[in-house]
Every structure is written in structure tokens, then in C-alpha cells.
Amino acid sequence: MKLKFLLTLSLSACLITVQAQKNAKKGNASTVVSMPDLDINTPEGALKANRKIQANLKDGENCWYYWEGNVFSRVPGEKDKLLFTYIAMNVRNTKTVIDSVKGYGYRQVTKENLL
């Protein structure tokens, strides 16, 4: 439990430091995000809403996710047995793609780390 907390704390500190350094290089003390107008009743609007949920509407800006959980063994007739716990992080980045036939789209790249 202590190790899990320390790993989570160190990963969070790294993420905060990296973001602060990026903001300092841009000359921003903090980043202000405005909500775009998305009409989910249009194909382009629905796709942009999906992109917003998955990552970010800005090209090249990273979006971080974190989760944790337990893995159990399951054998019929036996009580479930905890095998191990885990913590994981994911970073995602998207880029706009405009196709002459299909119109608006995006390409997503993602990396995950499971501890």
C-alpha cells in the first residue's frame, strides 16, 4: 500500500513539473481553456465531441489518464483470490486530419504504462 502511494505521488509530481515547465516556456503562468461550441447533431460535431472525450481538441497537446485496480483469480467453486494490484497511466495526443472526401477527422497516438 505504501509503495503504491509513493509511486502515485511521484508520477503525479512528475506530471505537474512537466506541465509547469511547458507553461513556463510558453510564458503562461496557467493555461486557460475555453469550451468550444460543439453541435453533436452533425457528423463533424459528434466526431469533435468524441475527440474531446478521448484527448484534446488542440493539435499536439497531451491528455493524461490514470487508473488503478485489482486482479483476481477465478476458479469455479473456489473463493476469488487477489493476485495483485496495479496502477496505470496513459498519455494521448491527437492531430486533425482533413480528407477531401470524408471531411474532418483526427489521428490519435497513445502510450500506456502499467505498474
Q: Is the pTM of this model over 0.95?
A: no
The full DSSP string for 91-113 is EEEEEEEEETTTEEEEEEEEEEE
What are the two backbone dihedrals, phi and then psi, of residue 47, each rounded to the nearest 5 degrees?
A: -70, -40
Domain ranges of the chain: 1-32, 36-114
The C-alpha atoms of residue 38 and residue 48 are separated, in whole angstroms, by 7
The predicted structure's pLDDT at residue 39: 83
Residue 36: predicted pLDDT: 61
pLDDT by 10s per residue, the chain, length 115? 555 554 565 555 555 555 655 655 665 555 555 556 778 888 888 888 888 888 888 898 898 988 999 999 999 999 999 999 999 999 999 999 998 998 889 999 999 998 8
Q: Report pLDDT for 5.
A: 54
61 exposure class (CB count in 10 Å sphere: 0-12, 13-18, 19+) = middle
With contact defined as beta carbons under 8 Å apart, do 88 and 71 qualify? Answer: no
